[in-house]
Amino acid sequence: MVHLEFYDGSGQTSCEELNEYMRQKKEILTRAQAGEEQYRDSLGWLSVDEWAGEERIAEIETFAKRVRDDGDILVVIGIGGSNQAARAVTCALPNQSKVKVLYAGNNISSAYMKQILAQLDGKSVYINVIAKNFETMEPGIGFRILRQYLRKRYGADYNSRVFATGTRGSELEALCVAHGYTFLDFPEDIGGRYSALCNVGLFPAAAAGIDIRAMVSGARDMEQNLKTAVGAENSAFQYAAIRNVLYQKGFRMEMLASFEPRYQYFNGWWTQLFAESEGKDGKGLYPVAVKYSEDLHSIGQFVQEGTPVLFETFLDIENPDEELILEADDVDDGFDYLNGADLREVNRAAFSATFQAHSERLPCVRLKISELNEYSFGQLFYFFEFACYLSGSMLGVNPFNQPGVENYKGYMFQALGKHK
């Protein structure tokens, strides 16, 4: 289970203050654990088994086996919440199948798309377009280009290589009916950024050979814990309270940090989750993420001596999985003090030193994770989704809408000549 610790060597926040805040906000936790009627259309993720129960997992595994048995490449076409979770997992964990997962439809760069296409020649290719309403331009462009590629290569049978994840009654489902594509449900009661544990995130992961049952098991265990634990015993509630107390004290940025670069795309998922959920009504912490130890040599300077506007949340893997011993060398390079050291121990020393130095100046949260694997990814996805629900409610915003993302589209569509 994810274990939370909070340190603030600057003395700006006390345990008593946090406990009092949680006491005042306890009804928010109670309502979230039950699921609020006002958010009923957005809480499909709250019960893991609703969209990741045995029947649905078996269906996902059947479809994924089709890809694994015959395919070399699966191109996932989607943007934002439609690809972030799958990318976080498939890029972090060892690929257990011969299928390589590529990601398209998440930008409008011709150079990037050409790089994707160049990797397809001579390979058996499948695509999975993911779009809740199929109105977003980036995946629309990606789907057209890759659909045309498949049709040119495979002829009339190309449609057997197309999986489309969308909502019932959408334009995407209509295309599946008209052209014989395989349709997977994008739950209507789950927003993109909360969609890690349904067809959206699980099908691409399963195609890559990821143990999605372990992911779901981790999420299910986290759900059980967070729906029963109260007060400070509830780690998501405590995390949400810390975020809001610090926001009230004038902090304006939260920085997610780890010493494991395999979390790179998970960082992107986390950033979108909190930015879209809380950044509204002139409120919200600005979420950013860093990769230590690399970023210690740049952003670390700001953390130690810059404007004190941020706090840090560290992901701490307690049992790293890859051993690498630094062997002695006959070149006098000045690093003999590391002879025989396990690189995991060196990384742990860097983590501990950084956490100590940073927490002496600013508030720091440590989230302890036992291992980096499918089970812990499932736990983290559910932990942060539930915490975001709580945190947005404490902040006084709707954690499930995103009206601001539409503002730029009017200007863009006008420039491109699209008329409603």
Q: Are 253 and 310 in contact (CB under 8 A)?
A: yes
**Which of 254, 276, 312, 385 is the catalytic position?**
276
Q: Which residues contact 329 (CB under 8 A, 6 or more apart)?
A: 336, 339
pLDDT per residue as tens digits for the range 99-139? 999 999 999 999 999 999 999 999 999 999 999 988 899 99
Residue 44 has a pLDDT of 98
pLDDT per residue as tens digits for the range 324-374? 999 999 999 999 999 999 999 999 999 999 999 999 999 999 999 999 999
pLDDT for 411 beyond 90: no
Give me 282's structure tokens: 């002139």
Residue 133 has a pLDDT of 85
pLDDT band at residue 264 under the 50/70/90 scheme = very high
The share of the chain scoring above pLDDT 70, in percent, equals: 99
Question: Domains of the chain, with CATH numbers?
Answer: 3-34+217-404 (3.40.50.10490), 48-210 (3.40.50.10490)
Q: Hey, is 129 helix, strand or coil?
A: strand
Q: HSE on the CB side for 237, CA within 13 Å?
A: 27
Q: Are 369 and 316 in contact (CB under 8 A)?
A: yes
Residue 410 has a pLDDT of 74
Active site residue 276: yes
Residue 405 has a pLDDT of 75
Q: Are 383 and 274 in contact (CB under 8 A)?
A: no
Active site residue 114: no
3-state secondary structure 41-59: HHCCCCCHHHHHCHHHHHH
Selection from 415, 359, 333, 388 nearest residue 39 by Cα: 388
Q: Sign of the C-alpha dihedral, residues 306, 279, 78, 37?
A: positive
pLDDT per residue as tens digits for the range 34-62? 999 999 999 999 999 999 999 999 999 99
pLDDT per residue as tens digits for the range 129-170? 999 988 899 999 999 999 999 999 999 999 999 999 999 999
- List 77's β-bridge partners, or say none: 104, 129
Distance separating alpha carbons of residues 211 and 390, to the nearest angstrom: 29
Give me 47's structure tokens: 């019960």
Q: Which residues contact 275 (CB under 8 A, 6 or more apart)?
A: 284, 286, 287
pLDDT per residue as tens digits for the range 191-227? 999 999 999 999 999 999 999 999 999 999 999 999 9
Amino acid occupying residue 275: A
Give me 368's structure tokens: 């302890």
Q: Which residues contact 370 (CB under 8 A, 6 or more apart)?
A: 317, 318, 319, 376
Q: Are 320 and 344 in contact (CB under 8 A)?
A: yes
Q: Give the chain's end-to-end CA distance (angstroms, integer).
A: 49
Residue 173, phi-psi category: left (phi > 0), alpha (psi -120 to 50), beta (remainder)? alpha
Residue 205 has a pLDDT of 98
Give me 306's structure tokens: 């810059």
Q: Is omega for the bond preceding 10 within 30 degrees of 0, making it cis?
A: no
Distance separating alpha carbons of residues 222 and 315, to the nearest angstrom: 16
Q: Sign of the C-alpha dihedral, residues 348, 351, 354, 355?
A: negative
pLDDT for 420 beyond 60: no
DSSP H helices, 71-182, are 84-90, 110-118, 137-154, 171-179
Mean pLDDT on 232-259: 97
Residue 403 has a pLDDT of 87
Q: What string of DSSP letters covers 15-49?
A: HHHHHHHHHHTHHHHHHHHH--GGGGGG-TTSSHH
Give me 292's structure tokens: 């230590």
